[in-house]
Amino acid sequence: MTTENVDAQELPTRPILSFIKDLPNICSLAGLGCTLLAIYFLITGVYAAAMIGMIWAVGFDWADGLIARRMKGRTGADRKFGGQLDLLIDIVSYGVTPAILIMSYSNFSAAFLPVAFIMLVFGAIRLSYFSTFGLSDDAKYTGLAIDNNSIILVFVFMFAGYFEPSTFAIVLAACGLCLAMLNVSQIKTPKLSGNPINVAILAAYTLTVSTIYGVTLL
């Protein structure tokens, strides 16, 4: 996810929906569709399908950045719009969706509301910080990039069967809180999504996770 400052005079007047034709934006919106499916399955309690939706949302998010960097002829307006679209989708995919996971698995117990709220607040702060300041001088993120929240939670959820549901709800909440703290910490982490090799690794991880959870749905 990147944003670039573009002077107002460089932004031509275009129909809003014209930006949908931009391939990276199509990728971003496909990820948003996966997020919507994940939220639906979280609410209905089909967690294996929700995990597949969550990890594919990350896959599309990483793919859109890779495509955007390799495309030629994109205007300043395309880049600025795409950056803002990414930002808005990220808060839903990596802030709202993990919070719903915590609430859903705890049977929407009010006791877990503070955890969900902290995850949302810290996620919003993390994204706002990056939107304002970007990468550090050594081209690293300040704080854990928020897309890692879904990558890690999808992995952790594989162990749900080894715990009682009430116990695993606490485990998920603890993981969510730790990730939220890392999101707003001062640790420096590399920009994994910008490297084609890392994108390929994520693709392999996504397919593996989808297969594992897909088998449980059969």
Compute the 3-state secondary structure of the chain and give helix, strand, coil in percent, each to the nearest 5. Answer: 80, 5, 20
One digit per residue, pLDDT tens: the chain, 218 residues? 444 444 444 555 778 887 888 888 999 999 999 999 999 999 999 999 999 999 999 999 998 888 877 777 777 787 888 889 999 999 999 999 999 999 999 999 999 999 999 999 999 999 999 989 988 878 889 999 999 999 999 999 999 999 999 999 999 999 999 999 999 999 998 888 878 888 899 999 999 999 999 999 98
Which tokens hold the place of 164? 């009682």
Q: How far apart are CA 9 and CA 187, in angstroms?
A: 37
Q: How far apart are CA 41 and CA 57, in angstroms?
A: 14
Within a 13 Å sphere around the CA of 3, how many CA atoms are in the beta-carbon half? 18
Torsion of CA 158, 161, 167, 169, to 10 degrees: 50
- pTM for the full predicted model: 0.88
List the CATH code of the domain at 18-217. Answer: 1.20.120.1760
Q: How far apart are CA 154 and CA 53, in angstroms?
A: 10
Helix (H, G, I), strand (E, B) or coil at 141: strand
Measured from the Cβ of residue 31, the count of other Cβ atoms closer than 10 Å reads 25
